[in-house]
Structure 1
Amino acid sequence: MKELKKGIMIMMTGILLCCTTGCWDKNELNELAIGELVGADRDPDTGKQTVYYQIVNPEAVAAQKGGGIKAPVYTYCVQADSTSELGTKTANLLPRKLFSDHYQSEIVTERYAKQGLNSLLNFFEKQHNRRSNLYLFVTDSPLSEVMMTYLPLERLPGRSLRSIIEIQSKLTGRLSRRVRIKDLVENMESSRLTVMPMISLSGSSPSPTTDRYEKIEANQGNLIFSGGAVFKNDRMIGKLPLNQMNYYFILKGESEVFMESLTINNRTVDVQAIKPKVRRRLDLISGEPVWKVDISTKLSLVNNEQKNELTLENLKMIEEKFKQQVFQKATEFYQESISKEWDLFGLEEKIKYQNGKEWDDMKKRGIAWDKTKLQLSIKSEITDIGQTINPYVGDNDGNSSN
């Protein structure tokens, strides 16, 4: 019996060992060029493709013991007339095997996005590792400068861009985490539009050397989020300004948080909507399509510059102002997108799959999706006023006492 148990234990151990992961392909770290960020451009006149690979320098990423600052990444540039030629030229240039499994982000130029990203998207989808969960960015700055600059604080640029997504989605609501390559691919065969983040290089010149780590000024030569690139299928057709991005995501129901700055009693009051609940549905009212969006949220006072006491009446005033302002701006944004024939919310597809006699009659009358009216309802309640109830007023007359 003991021998049987011992045999079973040995057999189970062998099975578990077979399930463990390891370097089965015998690829050592010093044999790999670990890609961290990739940038792509295509010349509309010649069709020539340009790809930038940012390769991690493991020695610089690890804790350094004296000896000064080392380059955290190295950028390689490859130009070719086809995707297959890009692979050949990359192999000729890199002294190590390109390892793409650790790509953090992908950047494409605005002119490339306007030509259409079909070939690029299909390339990612065909790979066995399917790195389509990468965040995709469009840049209106020269790609050579974007890819040839070191960033402050977070030294791996690809990871820094991922952090922009995480921070904006959690703190401002101007971005959603659903801005990956796969999210663009999902809408390629439909009428739905996709909005991907746009980034720009701040300052007049890039920061191509590690000297920037010895300077205190961090604004210049940094990558900043600057708006949204609107895609139809695989092609960029327009831009959303930065101040409209939060209204786009809250109407889509993808906001984790929502920020709004109000003016109350001629003073600024900033409020934060925490995890807003958004209910959306499409109805017919008097034979006309109506898109009903109901927003319900709890509010937190982030900043209150009023001199007035924070009474119940004052709180109600803030709540009402929040509802009025969000209603007005969200409605204006929706109407503007309709006037541009941008189906940002997939209304055409929603109407197409509606069933029933009334919907059939509406379709026969040839009423298009762009005739859909927005019916917006907002409910909000302030539940968090911060640590202090009333603000400190100091000397209101501006006089100092001796």
Structure 2
Amino acid sequence: MDEELPDGESCEKRAEGAMRPAIRRIALAGLALCCLTGCWDRTEINELAIVGLVGSEENKETGASIVYYQIVNPVAFSQESGKGGTSPVYTYKVEGESRGETGRRSAESLPRKLFTDHYQTHIITEALARKGLRQFVNFYERQYNRRSSLLLFITDSKLSDVMMTYTPLEQLPGRTLRALVHNTNMSTGRISLKSRVKDLVENMESSKCTMLPVISLSDSKPFQTIKRFETIEANRSNLVLSGVAVIKQDRMVGRIGLRDNGYYNLLKGETNTFFQTIKMNNRDIDLFANKIKVKQSLTQAGGVPVWNVKITANLAIHNNEQMEKLTWENLSKLTDEFNREVSETTNQLYKRALKKEWDLFGLADMIKSKRGSAWKAIQDKEEAWKDTRLNLKVTSSVNDVGEIINPYMGGKASGK
């Protein structure tokens, strides 16, 4: 017989009750272990071909897709390797009947598993961009590991040369191109950060154009050996920004210069900085605009759409070659000249875009979104956006004149 406890409960029942919490803890621990990821399916880094840059073109004769994969070589950046003369990247060319096939056929030439999850830059030839990027976008958007922040570049140089070029200072070309976009945006505002696949996709089904940077090889031939890093000539056979491609829906329809694109970004309100050189008294003055504010509205007058844009900016004088004192009157003339030149040049760009039938500013979509009987009559008119007038007002003020107010006169002050 079981020994009876004072409360009438047996030892066996008491032991059973004490074990239940322990069993529950073991069950919970087992369940947690089942949710943990193990190491049985891990892939070592030396088994991956990590892609840093991709280039796409089309075989002119067969129409097949050609893709260049630029693979990062981790050994070149390893402090433990101690090896000199190691290439930081290797470029593989793969050709297939379709874009999907090129990825599969990479296994035939790459000794490692292709890994494209982290690449951030893609270059497309001008010929392919003018033919249309619809197939590229549809293929890219179907990938589960796609990156919406992927930067797109158009090149007017031979793609094989571009993909086989070493870049100085920053040894990964893909990272170099991203740095060029960000640095140019910060220093002059002539390239917008909205040069991604995401931005192209957003404008695919509208009349609004997408602006993508154009990259070019500075020389006729690339520098294809690692001796590139042993020369001081940084501009020799280097990749440089040379313009901006105008993409209408999925097709390249033209291009503009970097300077004009700065005015486009300013008018569009897609830049926080702007660089402008003006002339006063036949002397150059370099101005840097910051704290830029842009207000836009679309109205109509006499049955014609009017796009109202007001731009305000603070100016910093980076260079002043005038040989006179910087007075309040001089500063007033300076801001007036800045306002006039920005207004005139921007109006010229706007009129040129309308003439070429480039809806750079999404005017057609803005007109469609308007409500009211007055707008209904405008909307019934085919391509009414081409009649839209630009009402632009530019105001500025100088808030930084530099370390010195008045110039050093030197020999001129003594009459020499």
Matches within 5 A, 1:283-322: 283-322=299-338
Other structure's SS at 1:395 match:
helix
2:339 corresponds to which residue? Answer: 323
Shift of the 350–16 alpha-carbon distance from structure 1 to 2, 3 Å rule, reads farther
1:131 corresponds to which residue? Answer: 147
Q: Does 1:106 align with 2:100?
A: no
Q: Does 1:179 align with 2:195?
A: yes
Shift of the 18–327 alpha-carbon distance from structure 1 to 2, 3 Å rule, reads farther
2:282 corresponds to which residue? Answer: 266
Q: Does 1:53 align with 2:69?
A: yes
Matches within 5 A, 1:73-152: 73-152=89-168
Other structure's SS at 2:312 match:
strand
Runs of 4+ in 1 over 6 A off after TM superposition: 6-24, 397-400
User: What is the TM-score with the length of structure 1 in the denominator?
Assistant: 0.92
2:218 corresponds to which residue? Answer: 202
Deviation at 1:11, TM superposition (A): 11
- 1:7-51 C-alpha deviation (Å, 9 max, x unpaired): 999999999999999978401111111000000001344211111
Counterpart residue type for residue 85 of structure 2: I
Give identity over the alignment, percent: 48
User: What is the TM-score with the length of structure 2 in the denominator?
Assistant: 0.89
| 2: CA distance, partners of 1:275 / 1:17 | 54
Matches within 5 A, 1:220-235: 220-235=236-251
Other structure's SS at 1:330 match:
helix
Matches within 5 A, 1:239-278: 239-278=255-294
Deviation at 1:130, TM superposition (A): 1.7
Shift of the 292–119 alpha-carbon distance from structure 1 to 2, 3 Å rule, reads same
Tell me which of 28, 34, 50 is aligned to 1:34: 50
| 2: CA distance, partners of 1:307 / 1:18 | 79
- 1:234-291 C-alpha deviation (Å, 9 max, x unpaired): 1111111222010111111101200100111211100011031111111011221000
Which of these two proteins has the greater Rg computed from alpha carbons?
2
Tell me if structure 1 keeps the 8 A contact 2:64–2:96.
yes
Tell me if structure 2 keeps the 8 A contact 1:43–1:112.
no
Tell me if structure 2 keeps the 8 A contact 1:204–1:220.
no
2:375 corresponds to which residue? Answer: 359
Deviation at 1:216, TM superposition (A): 0.5
**Structure 1 spans left out of the alignment, 5+ residues:** 1-5
| 2: CA distance, partners of 1:227 / 1:20 | 51
1:164 corresponds to which residue? Answer: 180
Deviation at 1:83, TM superposition (A): 2.1
Deviation at 1:69, TM superposition (A): 2.9
Alignment root-mean-square deviation, CA:
2.7
| 2: CA distance, partners of 1:112 / 1:244 | 24
Figure out how many residues of one structure are paired with residues of the other and give that number.
398
Tell me if structure 2 keeps the 8 A contact 1:300–1:382.
yes
1:3 corresponds to which residue? Answer: none
Tell me if structure 2 keeps the 8 A contact 1:255–1:275.
no
1:280 corresponds to which residue? Answer: 296
Counterpart residue type for residue 268 of structure 1: D
Q: Does 1:388 align with 2:404?
A: yes
Tell me which of 208, 218, 228 is aligned to 1:212: 228
- 1:211-237 C-alpha deviation (Å, 9 max, x unpaired): 011110010111101111111111111
- 1:99-134 C-alpha deviation (Å, 9 max, x unpaired): 111102000000011111111111111111122321
